[in-house]
C-alpha cells in the first residue's frame, strides 16, 4: 500500500516537474508488455542525459498492441521513437515514409537492442515428455497458443514450427505445411493474446504445453510460482527481435532528433543492456549474456531474415488472407 | 396558402434541426465514411470477401449465436421483468440493480470471468464437462457470453410496459371466466409483445457487434468459433483496412435488414392490436366461453 502511495506521489511529482522543467519531450510508442522494460529504462536515460548535456528531458510512453500502435503513428500520433516487437510493423511505417527505408541498419544488431526466443512451458515434471516440436504434434497432446494469424506471439510460434519442419530430412514447404496442419489440430482454442494464453494454461489448467516468449516464463514464475511448470527449449526456435526506429518526420518537426537518437542508442549501453536482462530479455552484450547465463541457457535459434527472407515476406506468405495458415483451414 | 399548424410545445423547428444535426454527426457521418471507404473496392470484391469460406462461417456463428442469445433473453428476460414489476419480495431493489450490471462491466472482464467459470476446472465447468457439456471455447460459450451481455435490453424494455398493464384488466378477464392461461395469451401477451420485440431487436443488435467478451471464451478456431468482428480485427492486423470495412459494411447491411424486419413485425402487431380491440374488449373476448 505504501509502495502504491509512493508510486502515485512519484508519478504526480514527475508530471509537475516534467511540465515545469523539461527542455524537451520525447514520446515512445511501444508494444504492450514493454511497459516494464521502459518503466525502468526511462529514468536511467533521463539521468544519463542530464549528466551529459545538462538538459532535462521528459519521457512519455504509449503502449498498446504493436500493430495498433504503428497504425496510430501513421494516423498522426506524434511519437519520436517506436520500439516494437515485430519488424513488419516498422516496415509499415517505412512504407508510409515516416521511418527511414534502411531503419534496420541505423542501429546495431538489426536495430534490435535485445531479443527473446519462443519456448515450451510444460506442467511440472513434463508428464507427456514434450521435448521438441514433433512431440507436440503427436496425437493426444494439447497445445495452448494465441491466435497465429492475429497476434505476434502466435505468429512466432507458427514460424518456429515451420522452420523446424523445413530443417528435418526431406523438409520442404509442403511437408512443413502438413506438419503445421498436424500441430494446429492439437490446439483446442486460439487465445486472444499472449497473456490470455498464459491464463488459460496456468489458471484454467488447459492443455499440456504453452508456447510463448522466454521472457514470459519469468513472469509466470512471479505470478504462479516456480514449482508449477518447467521451461523446455526445442531443438530449433525463433530468435525474436524487438526493433526500434526513429520517426523521421516527427523528430524533424519537433526538433528532437538529437535526443531521440541518443534515447535509442543508450539502449545498447551497459546500463540499457542490463535493464533488458533484468526484464528477462536476452541482451546483445556478450558479457552480460554470460553474467545472466542462469536465465538464458544456450539455444539454437534462427532469425526470420535467415529462413523466411524478412518479416514482410514471412507475413505475406503465411498470415495474409489466403496464406499458408488459411490454406490449412480451407483444405478441410 | 397552407395554414400554419400551431404546435402545443414551442421550438419544434429548432428541436428537429438539432435532432437531425446530432444524428448526422453521431451516426450518419461515421457510417457514411465507412461505406465510402468500402466503395473503393468494387461491388464484386466486397461480395468475394463476404462469401469466402471463413467469412460465411463467421457470419453463421455471429448471427446464429446472437439470435439464440436474444431468443433466450426474450424468454427469461420476460420472466425476470414480470417478477420485478409484479411481485414484492425482500431484496427486490438489489435484484433490480443487478440487472444493469452487464451494462456497466467492461466486456473483456465479462468474457474472462465467464471463461474462468466454465473452463474444465471452473466452478461450473467442473460439473458440466463430465456431463459432456463444454461451454468455454466452443460456440456454446459465445451464446453464453452474448446472453449475459444482452440481458438488460429485454428486461429494461419490458418493465415500463408491464407496469402500464392495469391489474384491473386481468381481474376483469378472470371475473368474466377466463382461465389464467387465457388471460396471459389473449390479454397480457398481446400488450407486451411489441415491447418484447423491441427488447429482442436491441439485444440482437448489441450481440452482433460484440467483440470484447466473446474472444476470451470463443476459442477462435477458424470455421468453428470465429466471429465476424474477429475477422475484421484479423484484416486490420494485415493493414487491410479496405477488407475490414468491406466486412463491416456487409455486417451492417445484414443487421439493418434484420432490424428492419423486426420493426415491421412490431409495427404490424402494434397496429393490429390497436385497431382491433382495447384491452377491456380483449378481456371480455378471452373469457367468452372458449370462443
Which burial class, exposed, middle or buried, applies to B43 when counting CB atoms under 10 A from its CB (0-12, 13-18, 19+)?
A: exposed
Spatial distance between the Cα atoms of B62 and B142, rounded to a whole number of angstroms: 9
* Residue A43 in grid coordinates: 529514468
Model confidence band, residue B283 (pLDDT cutoffs 50, 70, 90): low
| Averaged pLDDT, B256-285 | 73
Q: Is B201 on the interface with A (CB under 8 A)?
A: no
Domain-embedded: residue B148: yes
Residue B285 or B90, more confident: B90
Nearest alpha-carbon partner for A323 in A162, A118, A196 = A162
B104 interfacial to chain A (CB closer than 8 Å): no
Q: Do B220 and A147 lie within an 8 Å CB cutoff?
A: yes
Retrieve residue B95's grid coordinates. 435484484
Q: Residue B238 and residue A319: Cβ atoms within 8 Å?
A: yes
Is A71 in the B-facing interface, judged by CB distances under 8 Å?
Answer: yes
What's the domain range around B66? 42-286
CB–CB of B231/B54 below 8 Å? yes
Beta carbons of A82 and A244 less than 8 angstroms apart: yes
Among chain B residues, the shortest Cα distance to A331 is held by B53
Q: Which residues of B touch A192 (CB under 8 A)?
A: 215-216, 220
Show Cβ contacts of residue A110 under 8 Å, excluding neighbours closer than 6 positions.
A87, A104, A241, A243, A303, A305
The answer to whether the CB atoms of B230 and A150 lie below 8 A apart is: yes
Within-domain flag for B291: no
- Supply the pLDDT for residue A290: 93
Q: Could you tell me if A150 and B229 are in contact, meaning their C-beta atoms sit under 8 angstroms apart?
A: no
A189 closest CB neighbour out of B116, B221, B230: B221
φ, ψ at A58 (rounded to 5°)? -100, 135
- The residues facing A232 across adjacent strands are A120
* Inter-chain residue contact A321 with B238, CB threshold 8 Å: yes
**For residue B162, pLDDT beyond 70:** yes
- Identify all chain A residues contacting B220, using CB atoms and an 8 Å cutoff: 147, 189-192
Residue with cell 460459450: B141
Domains of chain A plus CATH, in order, are 2-113+242-268 (3.40.190.10), 116-240+300-330 (3.40.190.10)
Task: Give the count of domains, chain B.
Answer: 1
The predicted structure's pLDDT at residue B285:
62
Report the alpha-carbon distance of residue A167 to residue B125 in Å, rounded: 41
Specify the DSSP class assigned to residue B55: H
Return the pLDDT at A218. 83
Please tell me the distance from the alpha carbon of residue A180 to that of residue A120, in angstroms, as a whole number. Answer: 16
Per-residue pLDDT of chain A (332 residues; tens, 9 = 90+): 455 555 555 555 444 444 445 678 999 999 877 778 899 999 999 999 999 999 999 999 998 878 888 989 998 899 999 999 889 899 999 999 999 999 999 999 999 999 999 999 999 999 999 999 999 999 999 999 999 998 889 999 999 999 999 999 999 999 999 999 999 999 999 998 888 999 999 999 999 999 999 988 888 888 888 888 999 999 999 999 999 999 999 999 999 999 999 999 999 999 999 999 999 999 999 999 999 998 899 999 999 999 999 989 999 999 998 899 999 988 54
Residue B104 sits in a domain whose CATH number is 1.10.3720.10
Closest CA to A163 of A314, A282, A281: A314
Mean of per-residue pLDDT scores for chain B: 87
Q: Which of B116, B219, B239 comes nearest A188 by C-beta? A: B219
- How does pLDDT run across B191-249, given as a tens digit for each residue? 899 899 999 999 999 999 999 999 999 999 998 999 999 999 989 888 888 999 999 99
Interface test with B, best of A86, A149, A156 (most B CBs within 10 A): A149
Indicate whether B274 belongs to any domain: yes
C-alpha closest to that of A153 among A106, A201, A110: A201
For residues B101-115, give the mean pLDDT: 91
Asked if B53's CB is within 8 angstroms of A330's CB, the reply is yes
Read off the pLDDT band of B290 (50, 70, 90): very low
Is B3 inside a domain boundary? Answer: no
Is residue B198 in some structural domain?
yes
Size of interface A-B (CB pairs under 8 A): 67
Query: E strands of chain B, at which residues?
Result: none
Q: Would you say B207 and B119 are in contact if contact means Cβ atoms under 8 Å apart?
A: no
Neighbours of A269 (CB within 10 A): 15
Instruction: Judge whether A174 is closer than 8 Å to chain B, CB to CB.
Output: no
B-contacting residues in A 82-101 (Cβ below 8 Å): 92
The shortest C-alpha distance from A295 to chain B (Å) reads 31
Q: How much is the pLDDT for A9? A: 55
What pLDDT was estimated at residue B169? 86
Is residue B31 in some structural domain?
Answer: no
Q: What is the rounded distance in angstroms from the CA atom of residue A208 to the CA atom of residue A185?
A: 14
Q: Residues 6 or more apart from A332 whose CB is under 8 A from it?
A: B223
| B-chain residues near A204 (CB < 8 A) | 115-116, 119-122, 136
Best of B115, B228, B246 to mutate (most A CBs within 10 Å, chain A): B115
Of B121, B220, B236, the CB nearest to A189: B220
Tens of pLDDT, residue by residue over A246-282, are: 999 999 999 999 999 999 999 999 999 999 999 999 9
Greatest Cα pair distance in chain B: 79
pLDDT digits (tens, 9 = 90+) for A88-98: 899 999 999 99
The pLDDT assigned to B14 comes to 87
Averaged pLDDT for residues B267-289: 64
- Map chain A to HEC letters: CHHHHHHHHHHHHHHHHHHHHCCEEEEEEECHHHHHHHHHHHHHHHHHHHHHHCCCEEEEEEECCHHHHHHHHHCCCCCCEEECCCHHHHHHHHHCCCCCCCHHHCCHHHHCCEEEEEEEEEECCCCCCCCCHHHHCCCCCCEEEECCCCCHHHHHHHHHHHHHHHHCCCCCHHHHHHHHHHHHHCCCCEECCHHHHHHHHHCCCCCCEEEEEHHHHHHHHHHHCHHHEEEECCCCEEEEECCEEECHHHHHHHCCHHHHHHHHHHHHCHHHHHHHHHCCCEECCHHHHHHCCCCCCCCCEECHHHHHCCHHHHHHHHCCCCCHHHHHHHCC
In a domain, B225, yes or no: yes
pLDDT of residue A217: 87
Q: Compute CA distances B207 → A200, A233, B146, whole Å.
A: 24, 42, 6
The answer as to whether B10 is a domain residue is: no
- Cβ distance of B220 and A192 shorter than 8 Å: yes
Longest CA pairwise span in chain A (Å): 65
Amino acid at each position: 500500500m505504501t509502495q502504491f502511495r509512493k508510486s502515485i506521489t512519484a508519478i504526480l511529482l514527475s508530471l509537475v516537474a516534467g511540465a515545469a522543467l523539461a527542455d524537451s519531450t520525447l514520446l515512445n510508442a511501444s508494444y504492450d508488455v514493454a511497459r516494464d522494460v521502459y518503466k525502468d529504462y526511462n529514468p536511467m536515460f533521463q539521468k544519463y542525459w542530464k549528466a551529459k548535456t545538462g538538459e532535462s528531458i521528459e519521457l512519455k510512453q504509449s503502449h498498446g498492441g504493436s500493430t495498433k500502435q504503428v497504425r496510430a503513428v501513421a494516423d498522426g500520433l506524434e511519437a519520436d521513437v517506436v520500439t516494437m516487437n515485430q519488424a513488419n510493423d516498422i516496415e509499415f511505417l517505412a512504407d508510409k515514409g515516416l521511418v527511414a527505408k534502411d531503419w534496420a541498419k541505423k542501429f546495431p544488431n538489426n536495430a534490435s537492442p535485445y531479443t527473446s526466443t519462443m519456448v515450451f512451458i510444460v506442467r511440472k515434471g513434463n508428464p507427456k515428455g514434450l521435448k521438441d516440436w514433433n512431440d507436440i504434434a503427436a496425437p493426444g497432446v494439447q497445445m495452448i497458443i494465441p491466435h497465429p494469424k492475429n497476434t505476434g506471439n502466435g505468429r512466432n510460434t507458427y514460424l518456429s514450427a515451420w522452420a523446424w519442419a523445413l530443417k528435418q530430412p526431406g523438409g520442404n514447404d509442403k511437408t512443413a505445411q502438413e506438419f503445421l496442419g498436424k500441430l494446429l489440430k492439437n490446439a483446442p482454442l486460439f487465445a486472444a493474446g499472449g497473456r490470455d494464453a498464459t491464463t488459460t494454461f496456468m489458471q484454467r489448467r488447459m492443455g499440456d504445453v504453452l508456447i510463448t516468449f522466454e521472457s514470459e516464463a519469468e513472469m509466470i514464475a512471479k505470478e504462479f510460482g516456480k514449482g508449477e511448470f518447467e521451461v523446455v527449449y526445442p531443438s530449433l526456435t525463433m530468435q525474436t527481435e524487438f526493433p526500434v526506429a526513429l520517426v523521421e518526420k516527427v523528430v524533424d518537426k519537433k526538433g528532437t532528433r538529437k535526443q531521440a537518437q541518443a534515447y535509442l542508442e543508450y539502449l545498447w549501453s551497459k546500463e540499457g543492456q542490463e535493464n533488458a536482462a533484468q526484464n528477462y530479455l536476452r541482451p546483445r552484450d556478450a558479457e552480460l549474456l554470460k553474467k545472466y547465463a542462469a536465465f538464458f541457457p544456450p539455444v539454437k535459434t534462427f532469425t526470420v531474415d535467415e529462413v523466411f527472407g524478412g518479416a514482410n515476406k514471412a507475413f505475406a506468405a503465411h498470415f495474409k488472407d489466403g496464406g499458408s495458415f488459411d490454406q490449412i483451414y480451407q483444405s478441410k | 396558402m397552407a395554414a400554419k399548424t400551431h404546435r402545443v410545445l414551442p421550438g419544434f423547428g429548432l428541436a428537429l434541426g438539432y435532432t437531425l444535426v446530432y444524428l448526422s454527426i453521431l451516426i450518419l457521418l461515421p457510417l457514411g465514411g465507412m461505406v465510402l471507404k468500402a466503395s473503393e473496392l468494387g461491388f464484386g470484391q466486397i461480395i468475394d470477401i463476404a462469401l469466402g469460406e471463413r467469412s460465411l462461417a463467421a457470419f453463421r456463428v455471429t448471427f446464429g449465436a446472437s439470435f439464440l442469445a436474444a431468443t433466450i433473453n426474450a424468454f427469461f428476460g420476460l420472466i425476470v421483468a414480470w417478477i420485478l414489476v409484479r411481485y414484492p419480495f425482500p431484496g427486490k431493489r438489489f435484484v433490480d440493480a443487478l440487472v444493469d450490471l452487464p451494462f456497466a462491466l467492461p466486456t473483456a472482464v465479462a468474457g474472462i470471468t465467464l471463461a474462468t467459470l466454465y473452463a474444465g476446472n471452473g466452478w461450473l465447468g467442473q460439473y458440466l464437462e463430465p456431463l459432456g457439456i463444454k461451454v468455454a471455447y466452443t460456440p456454446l460459450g459465445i451464446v453464453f457470453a452474448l446472453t449475459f451481455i444482452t440481458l438488460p435490453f429485454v428486461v429494461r424494455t419490458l418493465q415500463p410496459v408491464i407496469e402500464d398493464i392495469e391489474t384491473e384488466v386481468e381481474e376483469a378477464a378472470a371475473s368474466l371466466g377466463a382461465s389464467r392461461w387465457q388471460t396471459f395469451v389473449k390479454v397480457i401477451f398481446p400488450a407486451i409483445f411489441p415491447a418484447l420485440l423491441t427488447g429482442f431487436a436491441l439485444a440482437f443488435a448489441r450481440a452482433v457487434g460484440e467483440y470484447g467478451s466473446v474472444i476470451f471464451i470463443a476459442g477462435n478456431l477458424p470455421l468453428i468459433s470465429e466471429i465476424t468482428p474477429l475477422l475484421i480485427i484479423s484484416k486490420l492486423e494485415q493493414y487491410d483496412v479496405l477488407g475490414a470495412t468491406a466486412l463491416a459494411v456487409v455486417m451492417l447491411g445484414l443487421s439493418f435488414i434484420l432490424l428492419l424486419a423486426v420493426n415491421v413485425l412490431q409495427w404490424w402487431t402494434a397496429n393490429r392490436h390497436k385497431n382491433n380491440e382495447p384491452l377491456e374488449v380483449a378481456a371480455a373476448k378471452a373469457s367468452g366461453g372458449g370462443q
